[in-house]
Amino acid sequence: MSETKKTRPFLRGLAVLLPSVLTLWLLVKAYQFIDSAIAEPINTGIRSAFIQIPKHFPQIANALAIGPDHDALAEAANAQNITENSPAWIELSGEVFAESVNTWWTEHAWINLLGLVVAAIIVYISGRLV
């Protein structure tokens, strides 16, 4: 049997698989780009907005229940010898709330999909505008 007849099945198999593998690779790379370049900054902005909520809208922060309770805040203040309702107390409450939001965010990994959904909507809208 000649050498060309032995390699034909391999080349035909490669010709069948290559478009599928290339398409899959392109889809994975597109997802990675959108996740790192668009969705992650959106998630950071959403997380920052959650951290700023109690400063401007304390009722919403209480309704969402993502911040520390009064006991946890008092315990952190006692550890640092800070009196209640002092400027240091307000600063400490912001720090403890930010830590609480970041902990809540990492415990609920599915929330990162929010940035991906917003990124997909942005990509769709920009595609419609072009």
Q: 37-67: per-residue pLDDT in tens?
A: 989 999 999 889 888 877 787 777 777 766 6
pTM (2 d.p.): 0.67
For residue 57, the model assigns a pLDDT of 79
For residue 73, the model assigns a pLDDT of 76
Q: Which two tokens stand for residue 25?
A: 């690779």
* The residue to which tokens 């403890």 are assigned: 96
In a domain, 107, yes or no: yes
d(CA 6, CA 12) in angstroms, rounded, equals 11
In a domain, 62, yes or no: yes
45-82: string of b/e by CB count within 10 Å (b at 16+)?
ebbeebbebbeeeeeebeeeebbbeeeebeebbeeeeb
Name the residue with higher pLDDT: 84 or 96: 96
Q: Which residue range(s) make up the domain with 98?
A: 32-129
How many domains does the chain divide into? 1
In a domain, 59, yes or no: yes
In a domain, 24, yes or no: no
In a domain, 111, yes or no: yes
For residue 71, the model assigns a pLDDT of 77
pLDDT > 70: percent of the chain: 92
